[in-house]
Each structure stands twice: as C-alpha cells, then as structure tokens.
C-alpha cells in the first residue's frame, strides 16, 4: 500500500491524506443515497443451512453470524480461534480512506482522497458497487467498513463480492493493498473449487487461473513457498488440460 511505501495507483495524489487538497474539481457529487441493508450471510455453524442474522453476530469479532443462539453456542469452540484472527484484522489507513470516500461519494472526499482522478474514481466505484453495503464508519464497530470487509472475506461466501474486492485491492486495477488482495484471493479460490466440483458454471481453467492469481498474490507478499506451491499446481493442471506443448 502507499502507507507501506508502495507506488500510488492514482495520478498526482496529495502526499498524504492530510495534506493540502488539490485544486477543487468540477464534480458535484452529493452524499450517497442510503443503501439497502446488507443481506444476511449463511449461519456460521458447520452443518446449519439456515441464513444467519446480522443481529446475531459474534459480539467479539462482529463477523460470524448465526441463525439462533443455540447455533452460536455450539459453534463457539470451533469459532474461538478464528474469532481472535478476526479481531486482529486491520485495514490499512489508505484502503479505509479510499473505501470511505467511495461510500460517501461526496465531492470534498473526491478532491482530497482521489486527487480529482475521475477515471480512477469511476473504475473504483464500479467495483465498489459490487461489494454492496459494507458499512459507513471508520475504525472498528458493528457498522464499520472493517467489519464489512471482514464479512466479505469470512462470512458471505460470495464469489462476485470477493472477485470485486480482489480487483479493487490489486496492483494493476486497484489500490495496491497487497495484504488485503491476498486475503481476498485466499477466500476466493476455495469457492471457485467448490463451484467447479458442483458443476456450477466454473471451469477447471478458471480454477487454475485463480490458483495462479493466488500464487502471484503470495509473491507480492514475498511468501515464496506458498507462491511456488500455487504455481506448481497451476502448471501441472494446465499441462493436463492442454498437453505438454
């Protein structure tokens, strides 16, 4: 990310989000309309096929959702470890500011955060819309953007949302938030595999493309063993599909 010394994906940005804003753009954006509430995710307890309730989320991590108190109590021993991982999760300040700017969709944030880069803003907005309502508060809380992003990563099991998040945080099309991009790809690949196994409109080639992308995400984070394992799996799969040549 920019905060970690990486290149800024936007043209001519302010040096930091607190620096003096660039000259005002001609955009006349208004605050975003109230978005519909996010849909209920599946109940987190393995073996339960009911939808969970956003009002019955784990009070500690605000991510795991349940259909009833009984499911939450039964799932706690299995959820306990992941709960700690969820609570340690933090968005980079850069990504949080970008997502907040896209959420409020307001001219002042466009000038300050997106540096009047209309093309970048429109590209990011199209991907952001696929995430749905991910919250509207900074830092941590039940309505926070952090909790909303975690719900996409851990709870919804929604390929479209994860694909949009992966693109939005990627090096080429997005914010270049490599840590969050890796998290998105880690969650996306198992869903591609499940859809392929179930004959749900995903080809083996698409799965292998996902594995390659996951390998690249590991490479960006300098996780070389994981990168090599993904590339090897993808290579073997493509050789099987396409032949040695």
CA–CA separation, 175 and 155 (whole Å): 23
CA–CA separation, 14 and 115 (whole Å): 7
pLDDT in tens, 75-90: 999 999 999 999 999 9
Q: Is the pLDDT of residue 6 over 60?
A: no
The pLDDT confidence band at residue 21, using thresholds 50, 70 and 90, is very low
Tokens of 105: 């969709």
What pTM was estimated for this model as a whole? 0.80
- Give the CB-side neighbour count of residue 199, counting CA atoms within 13 A: 0
Average pLDDT taken over every residue of the chain: 83
Mean pLDDT, rounded, for 162-169? 94
| Beta-carbon count within 10 A of 229 CB | 15
Q: At what angle do helices 178-197 and 145-154 cross, to 10 degrees?
A: 30
């Amino acid at each position: 990310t920019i905060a970690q010394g990486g290149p800024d994906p936007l043209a001519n940005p302010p040096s930091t989000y607190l620096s003096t804003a660039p000259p005002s753009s001609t955009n006349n954006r208004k605050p975003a309309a109230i978005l519909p509430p996010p849909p209920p995710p599946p109940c987190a307890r393995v073996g339960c096929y009911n939808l969970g309730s956003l009002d019955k989320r784990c009070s500690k991590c605000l991510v795991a959702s349940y259909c009833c108190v009984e499911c939450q109590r039964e799932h706690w021993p299995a959820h306990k470890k992941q709960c700690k991982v969820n609570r340690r999760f933090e968005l980079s300040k850069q990504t949080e500011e970008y997502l907040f700017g896209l959420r409020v969709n307001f001219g002042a944030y466009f000038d300050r955060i997106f540096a009047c880069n209309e093309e970048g803003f429109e590209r990011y907005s199209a991907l952001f819309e696929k995430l749905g309502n991910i919250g509207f508060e900074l830092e941590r809380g039940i309505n926070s953007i952090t909790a909303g992003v975690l719900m996409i990563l851990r709870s919804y099991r929604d390929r479209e949302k994860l694909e949009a998040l992966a693109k939005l945080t990627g090096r080429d099309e997005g914010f270049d938030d490599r840590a969050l991009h890796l998290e998105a790809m880690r969650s996306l690949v198992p869903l591609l595999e499940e859809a392929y196994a179930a004959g749900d409109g995903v080809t083996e080639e698409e799965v292998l493309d996902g594995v390659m992308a996951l390998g690249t995400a590991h490479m960006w984070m300098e996780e070389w063993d994981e990168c090599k394992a993904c590339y090897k799996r993808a290579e073997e799969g493509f050789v099987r599909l396409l032949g040695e040549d």
